[in-house]
Amino acid sequence: MFFVFCVFILPTIVFVILHFAAKQKTEGETPQTEPMEVCAICQEDFPLNQLLEKEVGTYGKIYCFCNECVDKLYNEFNERTGIKTGE
């Protein structure tokens, strides 16, 4: 009887539990239609269509930048160049 339990009943119980757990996990997730990518500066996830992609260097590494980080860099650059030129 112990042999039957270990070989047939226990694996069946484990299979059923794993099957229901996997089914509940996939039902709770919402399918993503848009690919997501991480901003290279702030490390937050954004849909790829909201990011600016730029190839950096000669080795072909592509970085993605969000609008807020691009604005911050632009403003910082204008402040530094404005101070240097006396504007």
Across residues 17-23, what is the average pLDDT? 84
- pLDDT above 90 coverage of the chain, percent: 38
Across residues 2-18, what is the average pLDDT? 83
CB 64 within 8 A of CB 39: yes
**Cα separation of 85 and 87, whole Å?**
6
CA 47 to the chain's CA centroid: 9
Averaged pLDDT score across all residues of the chain = 83
Residue 33 has pLDDT above 90, yes or no: no
Across residues 32-43, what is the average pLDDT? 87
pLDDT of 39-59, one tens digit each?
999 999 999 899 999 998 888
Q: Would you state the pLDDT for residue 29?
A: 57
Query: What is the reported pTM?
Result: 0.54
Q: Could you say which DSSP state residue 66 is in?
A: -
